[in-house]
Amino acid sequence: MHAVSDENTRLVDLVLDYSRRRILASDTPLDKPIPELELGRLAGTSVHEYGIGAARALSLFEHVLAPACITTDHPQYLSFIPTAPTKAAIAFDLVVSASAVYGGSWLEGAGAVHAENEVLAWLANEFGLPTTAGGVFVQGGTLGNLSALVAAREHARHVQHASGTDAPARWKVVCSAEAHSSIASAARVMDVEVVPVAPGADGMLRGDAVRAALDEHGASVFAVVATAGSTNFGIVDDLASIAALKQEFDFWLHVDGAYGLAAMLSPLARARFAGVEHADSVIVDPHKWLFAPFDACALIYRDPETGRRAHTQHAEYLDTLTETSEWSPSDYAAHLTRRARGLPLWFSLATYGGAAYRDAISSSIQLAADIAHEIESRDGLRLVRDPQLSVVVFERDGWSKAEYDAWSARLLDEQRAFVTPSSHAGRPNTRFAIVNPTTTFDQLVGILDTM
């Protein structure tokens, strides 16, 4: 018995020692993927009948597997939408796993659910939603958007049934032609039709364009999705003019703010989000610009009962949960088993306070404006669109897709930066996605110098 206890102690000490070094490290390299055959040769076989032991397994991860993963919290990780979790959030993520907390029901995880709900209420207040708003933390924006749209369709069916009218031949959701790919994915899962609406030349979807779609498709439209910070450009749709249409048309307004809605915390950007207070549901991903580790998406309903009506699962063994008014997070999205993934954000917010978050987000917005000005001042470089938030998209005159690819690969190979090619309207480009408060102007200028 003592031998087992000693072995477990050594195992935990090994893992915690590595975690401590990784969390506190300031010089973690970007690292990079390696070819599958080479990685297989280096890693060998680690899973077999008798195991290789904790020390060898951790060494394999530290020296072979981890270096084959790009470090997403590196200040020069500027592709896609990075992550930049606080030390408090990362450290508490270990606590969540160590505590054996189940986050699916109030019965089993009341304390965790209370803390998560405090964060959701704080976010809802920032977004101007009523004090009765509420929701749940889910895996990511794709699941958040899907769950919100499922609730929207269920609400439309409820209204249609109550009014005694016939259901449409096919339900439809209206969104920008530049909406995130997860909207089309949700539509496929739900077997509904997407009605894409062309945004303006600046990338913003506006109420007049949405009105035309509503006029054309009528009562078959159960939801309109507006984007609060597009992934590719960081563009915020004209939420106010879209929300104003709710006075004339009956639809559910969902705001996909996975990346950008966090910018409402900054006085530099708050005005761009006027109208979000009229949304029926919103999402924002803390693992993007709210400095939490993967994975977490906050899904908030204006009226949580609409989410509960759509998503509560019923089974005999669940009766003890569903036959109560207690708040069970599993009732508010397309999931049942869930980790209490909102707790790292709760601990970080409780530790540092909201003001620190406002400052960090503001710094990224200001840095994006500064580097955009630098790009405009350089011969041979051109902004594709003026940045609204912290995504800066630009072109190098005359470069082909192959030249962007070679440049991007060289940056990563030299461990200088991770900046991937992108495109718009058939033209190749590249972009800086800035969310890490430790990213500096000089680092970005150094990347431009390589072009």
DSSP 150-186: HHHHHHHHHHHHHHTPPPPSS-EEEEETTS-HHHHHH
Q: Which amino acid is at 395?
A: E
Per DSSP, the residues of 429-440 read: EEEEE---TT--
Question: Which residues belong to CATH 3.40.640.10 in the chain?
Answer: 94-352
Looking at the predicted structure, is the pLDDT value of residue 360 above 80? yes
Q: Which amino acid is at 222?
A: F
Tally of helices (H runs) and strands (E runs) in the chain: 16, 11
pLDDT digit string, tens, across residues 222-272: 999 999 999 899 999 999 999 999 999 999 999 999 999 999 999 999 999
User: CA–CA separation, 340 vs 342, rounded Å?
Assistant: 6
pLDDT digit string, tens, across residues 382-432: 999 999 999 999 999 999 999 999 999 999 999 999 999 999 999 999 999
- Partners of 213 in beta bridges: none
Q: How confident is the model at residue 317 (pLDDT cuts 50, 70, 90)?
A: low
Q: How confident is the model at residue 5 (pLDDT cuts 50, 70, 90)?
A: confident
**Roughly what angle, to the nearest 10 degrees, separates helices 354-376 and 441-449?**
30
User: CA–CA separation, 358 vs 93, rounded Å?
Assistant: 22
Closest CA to 438 of 346, 349, 367: 367
Q: How confident is the model at residue 160 (pLDDT cuts 50, 70, 90)?
A: confident
Q: Which amino acid is at 40?
A: G
Q: How confident is the model at residue 316 (pLDDT cuts 50, 70, 90)?
A: low
Matching residue, tokens 């940056």: 411
Looking at the predicted structure, is the pLDDT value of residue 124 above 70? yes
Q: Which amino acid is at 101?
A: V
Tokens representing 340 are 């209490």
Domain made up of 354-449: CATH architecture: Alpha-Beta Complex (3.90)
User: CA–CA separation, 392 vs 433, rounded Å?
Assistant: 7
- Percent of the residues in the chain that have a pLDDT greater than 70, as a whole number: 97
- Report CA torsion sign: 85, 89, 95, 101: negative
Looking at the predicted structure, is the pLDDT value of residue 318 above 70? no
Q: Which amino acid is at 36?
A: E
387 burial via Cβ count (<10 Å: 0-12, 13-18, 19+): buried
C-alpha distances out from residue 293 to 204, 252, 340, 403, Å: 30, 30, 13, 33
Q: How confident is the model at residue 321 (pLDDT cuts 50, 70, 90)?
A: low
Burial 47-57 (b: 16+ CB within 10 A, else e): eeeeeeebeeb
- Coil, strand or helix at 445: helix
The whole-number pLDDT of residue 320 equals 65
Burial 175-206 (b: 16+ CB within 10 A, else e): bbebbbebbeebbeebebbbbbbebeeebbbb
User: CA–CA separation, 201 vs 20, rounded Å?
Assistant: 48
User: CA–CA separation, 121 vs 416, rounded Å?
Assistant: 40
Looking at the predicted structure, is the pLDDT value of residue 1 above 60? no
| Mean pLDDT of the region 24-35 | 94
pLDDT digit string, tens, across residues 182-233: 999 999 999 999 999 999 999 999 999 999 999 999 999 999 999 999 989 9
The whole-number pLDDT of residue 162 equals 85
pLDDT digit string, tens, across residues 87-121: 999 999 999 999 999 999 999 999 999 999 999 99
| Mean pLDDT of the region 166-185 | 94
The whole-number pLDDT of residue 163 equals 85
| Mean pLDDT of the region 271-284 | 98
User: CA–CA separation, 5 vs 35, rounded Å?
Assistant: 40
The whole-number pLDDT of residue 324 equals 76
CB atoms within 10 A of CB 317: 6
Question: Is residue 67 within a helix (H) or strand (E), and if so which, with residue range?
Answer: none
pLDDT digit string, tens, across residues 52-85: 999 999 999 999 999 999 999 999 999 999 899 9
User: CA–CA separation, 239 vs 227, rounded Å?
Assistant: 8
Which residues lie closer than 8 Å to 159 by C-beta, 6 or more apart?
A: 250
CATH, domain range 94-352: 3.40.640.10
User: CA–CA separation, 281 vs 307, rounded Å?
Assistant: 9
